[in-house]
Structure 1
Amino acid sequence: MNTTDTPESAAAFAAAFADAQWTRATGAGVDPHAYRRVTAGLTSVADWEPAFLRTGHACLQRAQEAGSPVSAGEHLLAAARWFHLATLAPDAEAARAAAAADRALGDALALLEPEARRVSGEGFTGWLRGPAGAPGTVIVVPGLDSAKEEFLDVVSALLARGLAVFAMDGPGQGALAATSAMRPDYEQVVGRVLDALGVARAGIVGLSLGGYFAARTAALEPRVAAVATVSGPFRLDWEELPQPVRDIMARRTGGTDAAREFAGHVDLAALAPRIASPLLVVDGGRDVIPGVTNGEPLARTAPHGTYLSVPHGDHLLGNARPDWLPRLADHLLQALTEAPQQAE
């Protein structure tokens, strides 16, 4: 389908795309009224990236003019969100926007949480936040086209419970998308993260495709003491996946053949029984994507799995935050504080 046959069809496609991203964008924390204003002016989906970049730069300008470090930091966090969302357009040149989001988040944390620490290594980069004496550490893993800037609300919920949090980009994600390809053996990356953080045990939460990464890591990395997934796939069927999903996966993995091979690895049937740590699987009842098997089989076959399905929730459940986010944060806190401590 050519979405640019006429100005009317191009505008209609842009409006439909904006509606489809509504709960994802507002769930990520952008102001819903601003989102409506920005997307109402789109005449084509090609306008998406420049419109969101302009909005992000407007937030940077507000940060420069702010009367306090707190206000400046809040504007910078908003900029990080808008810059990240700019990468979601089908034909976006994502590297520039992802780099801008990464810088804005770093600048925000320098003002709001100067104790936050940038930690980078082979195949990962991110921010460690929270108290030095936290009772546990949680790693937050993004998905196919998401990044650490998208899940600041998840990080905030965990920080509010006294946990330390490492929100990361891995291969093919966020700040690393332009210089690396996504890989299925994410447990190797998380292992290096744990080494860099110097922790003997940690929790992990993965969102969307990050849910597969988190569950796989929990099965194969013994230092994972608690795990949660949100809208994570149990299995992917390449032949049934919608073309837009295939296109994104091809961009993130290095081509169509690589994407097909990657999708073939996304199957937790053999790994789920090996997840020894407490597991919470969160799904939205309205999250139905062809070629994607949702998380119920994961929760059922993992030894300590619990399934939470929110009937009205969509993908990533941005329309249902109160129905799952507090429970997810409590699950990780309780699992990390009640599990037996292992020797350093």
Structure 2
Amino acid sequence: MSVAEFAAAQWTRATGAGVDPHEYRRVTDALTSVADWGPVFVRTGHGHLRRAQDAGSSVSAGEHLLMAARWFHLATLAPYAEAPRAAAEADRALGRALTVLEPGARRVSGDGFSGWLRGPSDAPGTVVVVPGLDSAKEEFLDLVSALLARGLAVFAMDGPGQGVLAATTTFVPDYERVMARVIDALGVSRIGLVGLSLGGYFAARTAALEPRVAAAATVSGPSRLDWEQLPPPVRDIMARRAGGPEAARAFVRHVDLAALAPRITAPLLVVDGGQDVIPGVTNGAPLARLAPRGTYLSVPHGDHLLGNARQDWLPHLGDHITHALTGTATPR
């Protein structure tokens, strides 16, 4: 794949993550090879760190730090030997931003997870945002903001094999065990879950097996994966995150929600993009159909993660989670 094709493929994902589309085009138009992706994106992130240092206010500094975190994370989307360092820089930039912008934000880490709890201490509900195959907590800052705007507390996390933990851990199929430790660490009796891409599988599986899940939503999450049909680039990413090709193949065999979906008793919203077609991936329609309280939202023009159709699903998802957790459309 040429660098122009790779940049085009990541376009709506990057802009959906909140980077400026004009800056994205300036950066990617100057690339001559996919091998340049990681170093140039990291350099762009450092540019935002310098802007933060020179900013005239704490608010401006925090905003530049959040943008740096996005660019550092996006640096990891192409094969890059320094990806673990980029992920660590993303994590540090996010932490610095929240220290400036939200002094009440709290770092929460434990066995197999690490992230930031944001929002009011007396929030009427707490939502956990779960990333996917090669995403991380820094990718979904706008989703977190939408949930915070509804008065909820939000814990955006990296789990095993994800984000800042990708260098030291690998994917686990029994994600509900990780989530049980998260809920214990958050000190809440019930949570909402939002899972994105492969995180949709993690969220749905947890909703089926963890009784403290009171609401759930998936975005571009698979109902089932077939290793033999997955495109080679997806298999390569899976192998890196799972600990090798055989471990990845074994992990993928677990990704089938047919038996678990009927056990999801919480209200479940399943969001798919009609243009999201990946060989070997069965999208969310079967999950929504089999879950007792499942609702299916398909956006015909939406791509993977629906970064090109945010207004067609994000407000609806925010309302769904808020209503399921609090009984109101928007807490006041």
Indicate the TM-score class for this superposition, using the shorter chain for normalisation: over 0.9
Deviations 1:189-247 (A, max 9, x none): 01000000100000000000000000000000000000000000000000000000000
Q: Secondary structure at the match of 2:77?
A: coil
Change in Cα spacing, 1:15 to 1:92, as seen in structure 2 (3 Å) is farther
CA contact (8 A) 1:86 1:92 kept: no
Residue 90, structure 1, aligned to residue 90, structure 2: no
Listed as ranges, the matches of 1:93-172 within 5 Å are: 93-172=82-161
CA contact (8 A) 1:128 1:167 kept: yes
Structure 1, unaligned runs of 5 or more: 4-12, 340-344
Give me the TM-score of the superposition, normalised by structure 1.
0.95
Give the residue type in structure 2 aligned to 1:181.
T
**1:258 counterpart residue number:** 247
Structure 2, unaligned runs of 5 or more: none
Shift of 1:338: 2.5
Aligned residues: 328
Shift of 1:94: 1.2
Residue 189, structure 1, aligned to residue 178, structure 2: yes
Give the residue type in structure 1 aligned to 2:192.
G
Shift of 1:92: 4.5
Give the residue type in structure 2 aligned to 1:20.
A
Deviations 1:57-101 (A, max 9, x none): 000000000000000000000000000000001344310100000
Listed as ranges, the matches of 1:1-344 within 5 Å are: 13-338=2-327
Q: In structure 2, how many angstroms separate the alpha carbons of the residues matched to 1:37 and 1:91?
A: 20
CA contact (8 A) 1:129 1:164 kept: yes
Q: In structure 1, how many angstroms separate the alpha carbons of the residues matched to 2:79 and 2:251?
A: 20
CA contact (8 A) 2:38 2:79 kept: no
Give the residue type in structure 1 aligned to 2:184.
D
Deviations 1:243-281 (A, max 9, x none): 000000000000000000000000000000000000000
CA contact (8 A) 1:59 1:79 kept: yes
CA contact (8 A) 1:253 1:262 kept: yes
Give the residue type in structure 1 aligned to 2:82.
E
State the superposition RMSD in angstroms: 0.8
Q: Give the ranges of 4+ consecutive aligned residues of structure 1 lying more than 3 Å apart after TM superposition.
A: none
Give the residue type in structure 2 aligned to 1:326.
P
CA contact (8 A) 1:74 1:108 kept: yes
Shift of 1:184: 1.1
Q: In structure 2, how many angstroms separate the alpha carbons of the residues matched to 1:311 and 1:76?
A: 35
Q: Secondary structure at the match of 2:31?
A: coil
Q: Secondary structure at the match of 1:263?
A: helix
Identity value in percent = 80
Q: Secondary structure at the match of 2:135?
A: coil
